[in-house]
Each structure stands twice: as structure tokens, then as C-alpha cells.
Amino acid sequence: MAFVGIDETGEYNLGAANIRFDQAQSGDFTHPEGDGITHYDGVGGQSAHNYPGVNFGGTAETLLQVGTLLTAHSVRAAINLLPPVITYIQGGLVNVANKAKTQTTCYIDSVTVACEIGGLVTITYNWVALEEADSTVAAAAGASNVAVYSWHRGDITMGGLNYQCERWEVTYSNNLTPVWSLDAGTPDEERWVEEYTPSMPEVTVSADFRADVPIDLTADEPAPFRFISSCTNGTSTLAITDAAGQGFYPTTRPLPLTGGGDSVVYNVTGELEHDDTCTLAAGNLFDIA
């Protein structure tokens, strides 16, 4: 029997009732590492193979409605801590035996918030997990009825000024590292990841503008720029700001050459210092109120 997207669900659990992802557009449950195979070809045509350690994870591209995972579970509280744990994430076919996946002890590894002219604010979550099992989702969690965030209900400033922004995205990466060991494992789980450790967090921004943004990448020490985005759904406001930190250090700002009547668009990218205060504590970088 064939199935379609309306037969599926994607949801998470923070210790109580299951919560549906904000309106999910796509996603998957996968193995970030461990599905590859290494072949050892020897003298005389002999060959052997081996599989590496496996860890679990997934992706969900959503339309922003509530943003609980963005504001409360994506950003770590201290430089040496993991982000807040998600009890489990599950998804797949609804009310079909063993045609869903449940991944337990999950952490957001990276999150990207983005918007462009004519679109809606999207949030793409990438997570990792310690365990995975086939499961049956008897019934989907209720969908949120909170309004989405549209492109024309916001503002983008660089250094406090508007430059006719056409597209932007901000990515927060926890850079979690999976850990395996040679210690004895459980049968059928011997290759499974044992834990995750935090690496230095990274925050990057990429934005396109119709007006040229004054950035000098040839300076002895290129000056950081302030990037502030706000957008409302009529009830709540998403704010992305580096105001609590040092600003974004520019990394690229090419001069475009454009044919015919096509628009000249300037792309600017930058990244925060890895220990910037905006990379720590919920609300410093992403806030919904």
C-alpha cells in the first residue's frame, strides 16, 4: 500500500505529552554516521569489510509558529554543556505497526532560521540521539493553530540601517561530537554511539541586499556588524539580535557582476566569536515574545 504525507506525523516529547513540530514541510530520521562501509582489499584478491560506529539523528524543516525548540532547546546554557535534552523525537506513519521511528535522548545539533521575499519564516532543526527503535504511533499529537510568520511583517537592519534585504538566514551550531569506545557493548547495539560531547558553538549569518553594505574585509581588523531581525505573526514577535554580544565578524562580501536587467544583489556573511555571549543562554540570540 502506498502512503502520502498526510499519513505521517513528526513530534517530540519534553517529559509530558507529545508535541507536534511547528508545521513541518519535510524531514527525515537518519544516521549521521555509521551507514558507510570500509573495504579492505588485500594481496592476492582477498577482501574484508567493516562498518564504523553508528549514531542517530534527523532533520525537520518547519514553518515557525511556536518555536519551543528554537528558544528553549537549541542554545546551550554554558560553553561546556550540552543543549537541553529532548526526551524523544518520533515520526513516520500514523497507526501503522512499526512504520515510525522513535529516537530517545535527543539534542539539537544545529538550527537554521531563514526567510526570503514572498516566503514564510522557516526553522530547520538537525538533531542527534543516543538510541533509535521502530515504533507505532497510534495517534498524532494535535497540530498547533498558532499563526505563521510572513516575510512582509518584519524588519532587517545592519548596523541599525536598512539595505533592502531580500533573503537572510542565521544558523546556530552546537557541533556535538559522537563518542564510541572499545568497551564491551550490548549485542545488536555494539556499534551504537555512547554519548555526545560539546565542541565550540558557532553562529553564522548570510544575507542578500539590494543596497551595498559598507564592509571592509581588507582592514587590519575588519569591524563587526550588527544584524537584527524582527518579525511578527500578529500576536508574538521573533527577535534575532546580536545586541548582547560583540556583533558578527564579516567573512565574505563579494562584488557581484550581473547580466542585463537582473538585480545586483550583495551577499554578506559573518560569524560570531565562538565564546560570544550570544552563543550562550536562551534569549540572548533567539527570542519569541
d(CA 235, CA 146): 9
d(CA 261, CA 117): 19
Residue 88, all three cell numbers? 524523544
Domain that holds residue 90: 5-31+54-288
In angstroms, how far is the first alpha carbon of the chain from the final one? Answer: 44
DSSP 289: -
* Residue 43 included in any domain: no
Q: What is the pLDDT of residue 16?
A: 93
Residue 155, all three cell numbers? 524588519
**What value does the mean pLDDT of the chain take?**
96
pLDDT in tens, 182-199: 999 999 999 999 999 999
State the pairing for strand pair 86-93/100-116. antiparallel
Q: What is the pLDDT of residue 58?
A: 98
Residue 280 has pLDDT above 90, yes or no: no
Q: What is the pLDDT of residue 1?
A: 83
Q: What is the pLDDT of residue 233?
A: 97
pLDDT in tens, 120-147: 999 999 999 999 999 999 999 999 999 9
CB neighbour list of residue 95: distance below 8 Å, 6 or more residues apart: 136, 137, 138, 139
170 phi, psi to nearest 5 deg: -125, 130
Q: Which residue is it, cell 543516543?
A: 130
pLDDT in tens, 33-82: 888 999 999 999 999 999 999 999 999 999 999 999 999 999 999 999 99
Cα–Cα nearest to 149, from 217, 215, 211, 236 = 236
* Residue 41 included in any domain: no
Q: What is the pLDDT of residue 266?
A: 97
Q: What is the pLDDT of residue 34?
A: 86
Sign of the four-CA dihedral 139, 55, 170, 265 = negative
Residue 279 has pLDDT above 90, yes or no: no
Residue 235 has pLDDT above 80, yes or no: yes
Residue 133, all three cell numbers? 527503535
Diameter over CA atoms, the chain: 71
Residue 215, all three cell numbers? 564592509
Residue 281 has pLDDT above 90, yes or no: no
Question: How many domains are there within the chain?
Answer: 1
Q: What is the pLDDT of residue 33?
A: 87
